[in-house]
Amino acid sequence: MLTYENLPQKVKDYFRRNITMSVAFVKKGDGTVRHMAFRRNLKSYVRKTGGDTGVERSDAQTFVIPNNNLFQVYDTNLYIKALKETGDPSYAAGKSYRRFFLHNALGFLCGGHFFDMRNENQIAERFGEEIASQLTKSMITAMQKQEEESGTLDEIMSENYKAIKFIREQAKKIFNKVLLNENSNIYFNKYHIKTIDNPIIPDAIEIMSNNPDVIKFTHKGNFDEFLNKQRYFSASQSHCFYNIEDYESFHRGEDQWRRDNTGISEADKGCLMLFETGHELAAIWDSRNSVGYILPKDKMLK
């Protein structure tokens, strides 16, 4: 099976140097064959551990892939399309972020040279001849075209788009002030998803209860069981509070907050709030009212 260590040297060089190349691969979720032009990163990159130390990272530290043979990349054509439509680099990056396993790759196209990985990855044996045979000359030609269409990537990431981004950010701030109260705890994040600034339970409930993709629970056992089945990308649990006064007291010092709330009920202690990447609300359990809401993993921002 293909691993990062035994990648063709040209593929590895293109990846390390952040040069656009193309790949055809079997998508893990549905077993279909996809192809795309991609880059490792959308910005210039300096391989250092931080600051100006000059200490280089290892490949494992830099790319975070050799151990699980996972490429985490950006579909360059999707990025270009989203950036032209919105002018928002952050939004475009979120829409174009992709992952694929090296052992599911059918082949790579780098600078006009195609590397067929079907035998190396035993594609026919693992997925069948029908999947292996989908890598045709016409698909390789399409991959070449995708690579060529990505040639404008550096140009569109110029100062013109930085100016567009600034204008859009200012417009977004005005929009938030008009649509929401200027001092509201509820706001729209960079992915245009409504979320909360501070972990206040009633505000989280307001957002989650009005989301048609969210599932409501009235039994904590069922809530916990369903939540444990989700496989969020990088969800994190947060302290949560029923009002801003408790939250501010907490931030004056956790120990002081605990002393001030020695009489807090066991029900309040059982509250839970979970955020996914981009500060998107994933789950909330309101112990006082015995109600909870969960946004399933497959309904999260892709």
CA atoms in the 13 A half-sphere facing the CB of 244: 8
CA atoms of 15 and 39, how far apart (whole Å): 7
For residue 294, what is the enclosing H or E element? strand 291-294
Q: What is the pLDDT of residues 249-268, one digit of tens each?
A: 776 665 555 555 554 544 45
Give the per-residue pLDDT at 255: 54
Residue written as tokens 């245009």? Answer: 192
**Residues contacting 7, CB < 8 A, separation 6+:** 15, 102
DSSP letter string, 58-90: PHHHHHS-TTTTEEEEEEHHHHHHHHHHH--HH
> Does residue 49 carry a pLDDT above 50?
no
Q: Buried b vs exposed e over 87-104: b needs ≥16 C-beta within 10 Å?
A: bbbebbbbbbbbebbbbb
Would you tell me how many other CB atoms lie within 10 Å of the CB of residue 200? 20
Contact 118, 127 (CB under 8 A): no
Residue 144 and residue 152: Cα distance in Å, rounded? Answer: 15
Q: What's residue 267's pLDDT?
A: 47
pLDDT in tens, 58-116: 444 445 454 568 888 999 999 988 888 887 888 888 899 999 999 999 999 998 899 99
Residue 301 pLDDT: 62
pLDDT of residue 234: 75
161/155 Cα distance (integer angstroms): 9
**Run of H or E including 145:** helix 137-149
Can you say how many angstroms the Cα of residue 67 is from the centroid of all Cα atoms in its chain? 20
Q: Do strands 272-276 and 236-238 pair parallel, antiparallel, or not at all (unpaired)?
A: antiparallel
Could you tell me if 82 and 96 are in contact, meaning their C-beta atoms sit under 8 angstroms apart?
A: yes
CA distance 10 to 6: 11
Residue 188: predicted pLDDT: 78
The confidence score (pLDDT) of residue 157 equals 65
* pLDDT for res 280: 85
Better-predicted residue by pLDDT, 125 or 159: 125
What is residue 64's predicted lDDT score, i.e. its pLDDT? 47
Contact 11, 115 (CB under 8 A): yes
Residue 158 has pLDDT above 90, yes or no: no
Is residue 19 classed exposed, middle or buried when 0-12, 13-18 and 19+ CB atoms within 10 A define those classes?
middle
DSSP state of 262: T
Mean pLDDT of the chain: 80
The pLDDT tens digits for 165-191 are 666 666 666 666 555 555 678 887 777
Q: What is the DSSP letter of 58?
A: P
**pLDDT tens digits for range 232-243:** 777 788 888 888
The domain spans of the chain are: 9-156, 180-299
